[in-house]
Amino acid sequence: MGLSKKQIKVILLIFSTITVFLIPVFIKSQSYLQIFIVVLFFMYLTTAWNFVGGFAGVLPLGHAAFIAIGAYVSTILFMQYHISPWIGMFAGGIFSAIIGVIIGLPTFKLRGAYFALATMAFAGGIKVLIDNIDTIGPINVGGPRGILINYSGNSFVNFQWVSKVPYYYIILTMVIILVLFTVFMMKSKIGYYLTAGGEDPEAAASLGINVAKYKLIAMALSAFFTALAGSFYAQWILYISPQSVGNMNLSFEIAFIAIIGGRGTIIGPILGALLLKPLEEFTRTYIGSALPGAHLFILGLVLVLVMIYQPRGIQEIVLKLSRKFMKRISKKV
């Protein structure tokens, strides 16, 4: 008697969940663990980006701005008002969501290319703004030098630990919550309406869907979740600057990874980060000093090739392969 496909899926899921949770137990090297955190961090970012860039069917190219907003809000609240970063995180998220709606309100009415340009210009504007401002009244923003976050040893309230392990579990939890949220959302009315509006706005409107409203909801959620990652980043690295969290390259990288993985699917952005980030870290570590820029060149090349040969992303190939693999297993077992 063989196992059904569903049973195999469940077994694989349980197995991989356990593996993911046990990684810090087996990997003692902090620098390797750091790579795992980076991968999860990007999985989270690309999944949040996908709300707008995938499901809503437009191309946001300025998500670094939301990371910056999250990072700066929680950091300023923490450093100057001694408010726990956990609270600052949500304050940043809400602020970011509001900004997201303000950006989306006029631009969702325009052609796709205009939205891409507007988000890019907005993110560029935010970066230059932070670059130019040292203080706003009593608030120290730090200008181009950025802000160094006071380190006070292990403390849950302060969102700080000596070891990288807690950061690993926090970002892992964030990824799991976000992915579950996405799965849940896409199975609900919002998900149906968002997909319909993304595929054909006019047909969707004829079915009574206020397309712009649902795109705005997607934008607000995306901006909110992205900002949470910004606060996480600040506490994880303990240093933020316009260059590190507001950089245009960061905006593009998020978009690229999600697109290569397969925008508009739940698994795509996850796969993208899982495959590309290690590749990127690898090229940066081993050939980065001899050939700086090699990892970004590869990213650009993969992006172009994917768009030409596999526009629905590598998730399609991976799913095909895994289906074949499942068939084989279910026959053998």
Partner 1 sequence: MGSAILNGILMGSIYGLTAIGLTLIFGVLKVINFAQGAFLMLGLFSTYWFVELTGANPYLALIFVVPFTYFTGYYTQKFLIKPVFESEKDVREPIGVIIVTTGIWYMLDNLALMLFGAEYRTINVPSLSEAISFFGLYAPLSKIIGFFISITIAGALFWFLKYSKMGKAIRATSQDREAASLMGINQYKIYNVTFGIGIAICGIAGTVLLPFYYVYPTAGMHLDILDFVIVVLGGLGSIPGALVGGLIIGLIESVGSQFISYSWTIEIIYLLFLVILFVKPEGLFGVKGEF
Partner 2 sequence: MPILKTEKLTKKFGGLVAVKNIDFEVNEKEIVGIIGANGAGKTTLFNCISGNLKTTSGKVIFDNKDITGHKPYEIAELGLARTFQVVRPFANKSVLYNVTVGAFLRTNQKSEAIEKAKEIINFLNLSSKTEVLAKNLTLPERKRLELARALATSPVLLMLDEVMAGLRPAEIQDMLKIIEKINKKGIAIVIIEHIMQVIMSVSNRIYCMNFGEKIASGTPQEITKDKNVIKAYLGDEYGIPEN
Does 291 help bind partner 1 (rule: CB under 8 A)? yes
- What distance lies between CA 1 and its chain's CA centroid? 42
The partner in contact with residue 124, picked from partner 1, partner 2, none with C-beta cut-offs of 5 to 8 angstroms by kind, is: partner 1
Note whether 249 binds partner 2 by CB under 8 A.
no
CA–CA dist 47, 156 (Å, integer): 26
Task: Return the residues of window 211-240 that contact partner 2 according to CB under 8 A.
Answer: 211
The smaller minimum CB distance to partner 1, of residues 18 and 136, is found at 136
The CB-of-152 to partner 1 minimum distance in angstroms stands at: 34
For partner 1, which stretch binds (CB under 8 A), given 89-97, 129-137, 168-176, 187-195?
129-137
**Using CB under 8 A, which of the segments 90-98, 167-175, 220-228, 303-311 binds partner 1?**
303-311
Q: How far apart are CA 16 and CA 56, in angstroms?
A: 30
CB of 108 or CB of 159, closer to partner 1: 108
Binding residue (CB under 8 A) for partner 1 from 117, 165, 170, 238: 117
Residue 118's binding partner out of partner 2, partner 1, none, with CB under 5 to 8 Å set by partner kind? partner 1
Positions 170 through 209 that interact with partner 2 (CB under 8 A): 187-189, 192-193, 195-196, 199-200, 202-209
Instruction: By CB under 8 A, name the one of 13, 113, 207, 237 that touches partner 1.
Output: 113
Verify binding: residue 166, partner 1, rule CB under 8 A. no
Query: How far apart, in whole angstroms, are the C-alpha atoms of residue 72 and residue 66?
Result: 10
| Closer of 76 and 211 to partner 2 (Cβ) | 211
Q: How far, in Å, CA of 279 to CA of 276, rounded?
A: 5
SS3 140: strand
Q: Does residue 70 contact residue 231 with C-beta atoms inside 8 Å?
A: yes
DSSP state of 51: I
Give the distance from CA 26 to its chain's centroid.
26
Asked whether position 55 contacts partner 2 by CB under 8 A, the answer is no
Q: Does residue 107 belong to the site contacting partner 1 (CB under 8 A)?
A: yes
Q: Residue 237 interacts with partner 1 (CB under 8 A)?
A: no
Three-class secondary structure of residue 84 per DSSP: coil
- Give dist(CA 174, CA 28) in Å, integer: 22
Between residues 134 and 200, which has the closer beta carbon with respect to partner 2? 200
For residue 58, the SS3 value is coil
d(CA 56, CA 104): 12
Nearer to partner 1, 120 or 240 (CB): 120
Q: Sign of dihedral through CA atoms 191, 195, 198, 200?
A: negative
What is the SS3 string spanning 193-225?
HHHHHHHCHHHHHHCCCCHHHHHHHHHHHHHHH
> In this structure, what token pair is assigned to residue 146?
């950025």
Q: What is the smallest separation between the CB atom of 318 and partner 2, expressed in angstroms? A: 18
Q: Measured from the CB of residue 196, what is the shortest distance to partner 2 in angstroms? A: 5
Cβ distance to partner 1 smaller for residue 58 or 149: 58
- Rounded Cα distance between 81 and 27, Å, is 37
Beta-strand relationship, 139-140 and 239-240: unpaired
276 lies in the site for partner 1, by CB under 8 A: no
Among residues 132 and 188, whose Cβ is nearest to partner 1?
132
Q: Report yes or no: 249 and 127 within 8 Å, Cβ to Cβ.
A: no
Q: Look at the block and give the residue holding tokens 């289906």.
A: 323
Which residues lie near partner 2 (CB under 8 A)? 187-189, 192-193, 195-196, 199-200, 202-211
Which residues lie near partner 1 (CB under 8 A)? 57-59, 61, 106-107, 110-114, 116-118, 120-122, 124-125, 128-129, 131-132, 200-202, 248, 252, 255-256, 259, 291-294, 296-297, 299-301, 303-304, 307-308, 311
